[in-house]
Amino acid sequence: MIDSKKLIKEYGLTANKALGQNFLVDENAILSIVELSECSGKSVLEIGPGLGALTGELIKSAKNVVCIEIDSAMCELLKKTLDGAENLDIVNRDILKVKNDELSSLLGEGFTVCANLPYYITSDITMKLADSALCISRMTLMMQQEAAEHFLASPKQKCYTPVSVISQRYYSICEKLRLSPSSYYPEPAVHSSVLVFKRNEKPYDPAFSRLVKTAFSMRRKTLRNNLASLYDKSLVPAIIERAGLAPSCRAEELTVSEFEALLEAANAELLSRD
């Protein structure tokens, strides 16, 4: 198994804090995450492979692994240590700048994701993947516990945000592992969680994301006020009533199904006024 701490010392590297470089050094955690990813025979996208702690295990059973890593020094070292793996592609890019159709052409139709995410852009990366039409069947993502709470949140909780609603519409999300700072080198100041996102059958609809983001745009305002920036103001009360919601409700109180009912009601109301 790849020993990131040993490699750092051997090659005189320093972990780049700004890039969220906290490397996984807990062998049991590495094996558990790879097992949770159910990568056997699959195409796998790994974001931020670093020194390859997960990569080295993923390539043993995945059909192919595409790694996207921003740090060129990590990419060079990975090429050395995992040299000869025919099912591995290492791409030296910023994941947030890789377009989704590029991801599809690198990975083919239908893939899974496994990553120990850089903490400073956890939500951006997760939502780039979850709030998209990409064909992803499963994501196994390690992240800071505080970020994980947003993906697991229920209505009325403080961390219930558009991220919660949009990701929960398309994925059933479970926390499978909790890790303490000692599982990493260097040790971060925070605890981490491993979440598994399992895709459901619902087709992707960008109108849903638009609606949810608008509904939450000003948290202290009612749904009725926020929706007036998306739909004709005179239609909003009828949309809310058609969805079976109270006129004074706020976005943070609504379940995913209630947001779905709201979108359906808006579509029906717009159609009836045409």
Nearer residue to ligand SAM within complex by CB, 64 or 116? 116
Q: Classify burial at 203, counting beta carbons within 10 Å of its beta carbon; exposed 0-12, middle 13-18, buried 19 or more.
A: exposed
Q: Are 136 and 112 in contact (CB under 8 A)?
A: yes
**In the set 24, 62, 114, 153, which binds ligand SAM (CB under 6 A)?**
24
Which residue type does 246 have? A
Give the interface segment with ligand SAM, choosing from 66-74, 99-107, 202-210, 250-258 (CB under 6 A).
Answer: 66-74
As measured in angstroms, the least distance from the Cβ of 122 to ligand SAM is 10
CA atoms within 13 A on the CB side of 219: 8
Q: CA 150, CA 170: separation in Å to the nearest integer?
A: 15
Binding of ligand SAM by 69 (CB under 6 A): yes
Residue in the block written with tokens 């059933």 = 172
**In the set 31, 96, 207, 246, which binds ligand SAM (CB under 6 A)?**
96
Binding of ligand SAM by 68 (CB under 6 A): yes
Binding of ligand SAM by 27 (CB under 6 A): no
Nearer residue to ligand SAM within complex by CB, 26 or 258? 26
Binding of ligand SAM by 170 (CB under 6 A): no
Q: Classify burial at 52, counting beta carbons within 10 Å of its beta carbon; exposed 0-12, middle 13-18, buried 19 or more.
A: buried
Per 3-state DSSP, what percentage of the chain is helix, strand, and coil (rounded to 5)? 45, 20, 35
Binding of ligand SAM by 82 (CB under 6 A): no
Binding of ligand SAM by 56 (CB under 6 A): no
Residues that bind ligand SAM (CB under 6 A): 4, 19-24, 47-50, 53-54, 68-71, 74, 94-96, 116, 118, 121
